[in-house]
Amino acid sequence: MYLDAWTDLATWFHAMDHTNYARWIPVHLPDMITLPTAHPETAREFDAGNFTIQKTSRQFSAICV
């Protein structure tokens, strides 16, 4: 679902003149498609819902990636 949504949105970024998104989505999509084979442990963590990082010990300061 994630990859399908970004693929559908990619053309809109060009149409709406969002140049950074339009430039980097074609780079991001192949990386995410090959993630299960290139980095299976990371893909498993993403599938398990672990997609935030904690850079500090402060509570509620997680960063969604």
The mean pLDDT value of the chain amounts to 86
Q: Which of 25, 27, 3 is nearest to 16 (CA)?
A: 25
> What pLDDT score was predicted for residue 55?
75
Which one, of 32, 23, 43, lies nearest residue 5 by Cα? 32
Torsion of CA 50, 4, 6, 8, to 10 degrees: -160
DSSP string for 21-46: HHHHHHHHHHHHHSHHHH-HHHHHHH
Report the domain count for the chain: 1
Minimum mean pLDDT range among 4-8, 26-30, 32-36, 48-52: 48-52
Question: What distance in Å separates the CA atoms of residue 48 and residue 33, rounded to the nearest whole number?
Answer: 17
Which domain covers residue 42, as residue numbers?
2-64
- pLDDT for residue 65: 60
